[in-house]
Copies of this chain bind each other. A is one copy, B any other.
């Protein structure tokens, strides 16, 4: 049993929350999102990010627009929809509950 695998498993399920959080602060395109997460020491790879963004778009939590880049190919800027913002609030609550649960398990008794 491998700690790197456990790290990846722990990331599962919270990346959605983190990505919506990044976009709460303002629209961004995928590389920006990767950079923001990397700054917070949370690594995500393209093979994960793109399908995830597409899922969120399909579920109407995100919207996007294309923008020409002045130094490379066009970019897809994502932003939160009102529905996305609401969902994010729910995720934030869920995360807090999870944190508390872990805290209780680690401390109590």
CA distance A56 to B1 in the complex (A): 8
Instruction: State the oligomeric state as a number of copies.
Output: 2
What residue of chain B has the Cβ atom nearest to residue A10's Cβ? B13
Interface of A is mostly: helix
**A80-109: contact bitstring with B at CB < 8 Å (1 yes, 0 no)?**
000000010011101101111110111011
Task: For residue A21, give the distance in angstroms from its CB to the closest CB of chain B.
Answer: 5
In the complex, how many residues of chain A place their beta carbon closer than 8 angstroms to a beta carbon of chain B? 44
List residues of chain A with CB under 8 Å of any chain B CB. Answer: 1, 3, 6-14, 16-18, 21-22, 25, 36-37, 39-42, 55-56, 59, 61, 87, 90-92, 94-95, 97-102, 104-106, 108-109
